[in-house]
Structure 1
Amino acid sequence: MMAMEFVSTVRATRSGLVDVLADVEGMTRWGREHAAELGIDPGFSATEDLRHEVVELRQAVRSLFARAVAPGPASSADAHRLPDFAASLDLVNAAARAVPLAPRLEWPAEGAPTARNLPAREADESSRIRAALASAAIALLAGPEREQLRACPAPRCVLYFVKEHARQEWCSVGCGNRARAARHYRQHKAR
């Protein structure tokens, strides 16, 4: 899910928070890894302006995710510094609207037809990337997955995840193990 990949560019490691989009090199690497989903050239190179615009959009999407998981807690990565909800909603909608998409039917000589959404008109690379990311976030937030969106409650985890089954509490097995170990430690320390 592109929207989940996007908001997960902020994550926690043992040494603290890691922002994959913290610099132009990271943005370039991430963009190349997701070139097909973003509709960009695999040889893509980011600029500082593009990186800044994408990070601003990511924070807006994280703000919308925080609202979607309420009344549960938002991700601890940035809950204290998320932009205003209304401004975030406006930014995400504006980014998606900046590059209207149109379906294109592709039918290879030997194979089944497929449809791809392509920009309906020429647009600069930053607008195309932000439109793809905003559209992915809108699809997730307006779809049935929103009801299953959660912020991982494990110690030090800052990820959002889509709950895939009724008993799932954490984003990963590793987070579940850390949460159980922390609970065990607290129980035995209290004795």
Structure 2
Amino acid sequence: MLSISNAPEIGDRILAAAASCVVDFGVDRVTLAEIARRARVSRPTIYRRFPDTQSILTALLTSRVVAVLDEVPQTGADRAAIVDRVIGVAARLRDDEIIMAVLHSAPELAMTYIAERLGSSQQILIDALAADLAVAQAGGSVRAGDPGQLAAMVLLIVQSSVQSARIIEKILPVEVLAAELRHAVNGYLI
């Protein structure tokens, strides 16, 4: 048995357990009991952190998006560097098994964040991009405009390419999709 001082953080164990459940079962069959079993914690321990399975899944998706954003470095402050990062984040999200499992096993959940409401992970992406765009605008490499609005539009463009990549794969293989997305985002920001 792990000592308390050596035990992984419980919240991280819960999210890791939820991730493995999503991969193994799809979103609709994920249960709080199975998450608790895989995380090696009691259900009351989970309830102290999350009110229900849906909130665990939401936290899982947010943590995945934030991790991807942190993994793709900002290599400069100009438009080219911003576009590089956007394309890198899009590729990582497109290849993330949890993100894709949610898109493909729970389209109704995905549709909520595509058509009905802005999720916290989407807002995090918009805020990070808006901050970068403001710096690039000051340097003259990004066109004028409200950075938050520009970032929101880039999110819409990129989100569409991520969620639809599989259906257009024969027309736009991964490398071509990335090149075309780069062209679209760069052109939008000029």
Would the TM-score normalized by the shorter structure come out above 0.5? no
TM-score, length basis structure 2: 0.27
TM-score, length basis structure 1: 0.27
